[in-house]
Amino acid sequence: MERIIIADNDKEHAKIIEQMIKKRIKGVHTVIYEDHFSGMIESIYKEKVAVVIMAVNVSGINGLELGKQIRGFSPFTQFIFISSCDYFEFVREALQLLAVDYLLKPVNENSLVAAIERAMRRHRLITREQEVVKEQGMRIDEANKYVEYSFIYSTLFNSDFSGLMNRYRDLLGLGDSGYILNIEIDSQEPNSPINLKRDDDILYRHLKEIISQHNVCVVGPRIINRILVLVSNDKEELSESSMSDIKLAAHIIVSLKDTFMINVSIGVGSQQKLRNIHHSYEEAVRCLRYKGVHNVVRIRDIEHVDISHEEYIKLETEVLKNVRFGNASAVDTFAELLDMLRPLQEEVRRNRIFELLVLAGHEAKVDGRDSIDYINYGKTFEEVKTISLDKIEMWAYQKFEFIINSVHSNRIGKKSEGVRNAIRYMEEYYMEPISLEEISSYVGVTPQHFSKVFKEETGKNYIEWLTNYRMDVAKGLLMEGKQTIKEVCFKVGYNDPNYFSRIFKKIEGYSPSEFLNVGKKEKKKTDK
């Protein structure tokens, strides 16, 4: 129901206007103010008022000035001025206020109704336009958020990011360098005003707001209990309002505690050029493995720790990448990680082993298609605290091996019909050129969708899969010894023997001729 306010200290005339409105216009609520116009202003401020019918002079107050005041905080409210004096100056000022009309007392009913209907149409139109603008603004904000999410993923986890660098940097207004904050949620108090499971957007907006006051930033999504933030902070272009890394981290900790009753720790990576920002990410992740009584840990604070950080991070990244696709090679790499953890203190070692298993369990279902939990986190946490040190490695190894085997079994059975058809097509026509457009058309989807699904389900893009299959066929043909390398090259879909040899060596580790020589030597050993 739309609200109409009548402001006139002539009580009888105000009542007449109200009666005219009730008689002719349905679906509106009218309120008369004869005096106490501060109350009227408060009412308009708190509630949406469509139309104000106001005397030019009310209780010694200039109605036009009062209208200007209201227009300042309620720009969509429409005005109709009434007066007993037909002064041009009043009319001119009223029009300047974008008043719908200026009516003389006694007000004619038809003129009043016509003016109110025009005012309400204008109010509805402007309100709808404002809602559209607001919705568009929300969509833009939402789009910006996902641009930031995409940037974080692309920067930190995509090895081929260089082509997108400039585009993202321009879109987000970033400098040439920055550093990563790894914000880890340690606990949330029971009376916290937000639910972390459903209020990620609130947390994103809050972090964005408080950090942007001091530094250009990109806020990533919450992953389990961690949020990654890129702070763009070129040393040569520091603004006066910019905060140092330690002050900014402390500011975030206090703000999240005071606003949401959330306790966090923050790992701070070193300043890096944007193209190398993944190094800062690795450092920020590493920092929180050594948190103790301190809520903020910087990479410079842990340089003395005596395990090889770079090697550990490299192995960990390799392990988690292979977990996703159930690759058996991850088991051996995991064992290497366990070896590297032996020099650490007992508590740190136990925590690190637990973290590895948690990360592995998360990676196993990262694409959201697996409904099962590969690891019981609560049970695992209790076990890792109590199991003896002499048995912990074997226990962790068995847990990890179970995850890998489970993922492998699940992925085999979860290949979609489209991917299975694509594989059968490539196995049949591997000797011919096969384009992305051709194979995606064959399975009935767009090239973009096919690429995404094929990579998710096989761990390789279609070219990698096809190339590996061709090389497997080539090895079989070479071992038969009935065809030359050149003939095999043409047989498996290549027109250039030199290019075929380069690809073969890249994948197998030796050239086709070397492969034949090795095969001959092995055959001689077997014959003996």
For residue 416, give the nearest of 449, 447, 438 by alpha carbon: 449
List, in order, residues 6 or more apart from 258 with CB less than 8 Å away. none
Q: Which two tokens stand for residue 286?
A: 């590493």
Asked if residue 106 has a cis previous peptide bond (ω within 30° of 0), the answer is: yes
188 has which bridge partners? 262
pLDDT for 190: 83
- Give pTM, 2 decimals: 0.37
Instruction: Look at strands 226-232 and 177-188 and give their pairing.
Output: antiparallel
Q: How confident is the model at residue 145 (pLDDT cuts 50, 70, 90)?
A: low
The set of residues, in sequence order, having a beta carbon less than 8 Å from that of 60 and lying 6+ positions away, is none
pLDDT of residue 110: 92
Nearest one of 96, 92, 99, 90 to 123, comparing CA atoms: 99
Q: What's the topology of domain 2-130?
A: Rossmann fold (3.40.50)
Residue 382 has pLDDT above 70, yes or no: yes
| 8 A C-beta contact, residue 380 and residue 400 | no
- What is the dihedral sign for C-alpha 508, 509, 511, 517? negative
- pLDDT score at 7: 86
Q: Per-residue pLDDT for 491 more than 80?
A: yes
Helices 389-413 and 309-323: angle between axes, nearest 10 degrees? 40
How many residues are listed for the chain in this entry?
A: 528
DSSP assignment of 139-177 equals HHHHHHHHHHHHHHHHHHH-S--HHHHHHHHHHHT--SE
| Average pLDDT estimate for 256-265 | 88
Quote the pLDDT of residue 235.
44
Q: Specify the amino acid at residue 522.
A: E
Query: How far from the centroid of its chain's Cα atoms is residue 505's Cα?
Result: 40
pLDDT, tens digit, for every residue of 83-130?
Answer: 877 666 667 666 666 688 888 888 899 999 999 998 888 888 887 777
Q: Who's near 230: CB < 8 A, 6+ residues apart?
A: 151, 152, 155, 174, 178, 179, 180, 181, 217, 218, 220, 277
Q: Which residues contact 15 (CB under 8 A, 6 or more apart)?
A: 32
pLDDT for the residue 149? 66
Beta strands in 199-332 (DSSP E): 216-223, 226-232, 262-268, 272-273, 296-298
The mean pLDDT of 416-442, rounded to a whole number, is 85
The closest alpha carbon to 436, from 445, 9, 502, belongs to: 445
Q: Which fold would CATH assign to domain 158-302?
A: Alpha-Beta Plaits (3.30.70)
Contact 280, 270 (CB under 8 A): yes
Q: CA–CA separation, 87 vs 346, rounded Å?
A: 90
| DSSP 3-state of 59 | coil
Q: Given this model, what pLDDT does residue 239 score?
A: 45
Please write the tens of the pLDDT for every residue from 270-325.
888 887 887 888 888 878 876 655 577 777 665 545 455 567 777 888 888 778 76
Take residue 101 and report the two structure tokens written for it.
């009309």
Q: Give the sign of the dihedral formed by CA 469, CA 472, CA 474, CA 476.
A: negative
Round to whole Å and give the CA distance between 245 and 233.
Answer: 9
417-527: what fold?
Answer: Arc Repressor Mutant, subunit A (1.10.10)
Comparing C-alpha atoms, which of 460, 446, 17 is closest to residue 6? 17
Q: Domain boundaries in the chain?
A: 2-130, 158-302, 309-413, 417-527
| pLDDT for position 138 | 55
Mean per-residue pLDDT of the chain: 78
Strand pairing report for 101-104 and 78-83: parallel
Least confident of 8-12, 248-252, 311-315, 435-439: 311-315
- Name the pLDDT band for 368 (thresholds 50, 70, 90): very low
CA geometry: angle 249, 255, 259, nearest 5 deg: 155
**Any alpha helices (H) in 435-480, and if so which ranges?**
436-443, 447-458, 462-480
Strand 101-104 with 57-58, pairing = unpaired
What pLDDT sits at residue 163? 54
Output the six-digit token pair for 405: 């085997």
Higher pLDDT, 527 or 310: 310
Please report the pLDDT score of residue 33 as a whole number. Answer: 84
Ranked by mean pLDDT, the top range of 134-138, 146-150, 473-477 is 473-477
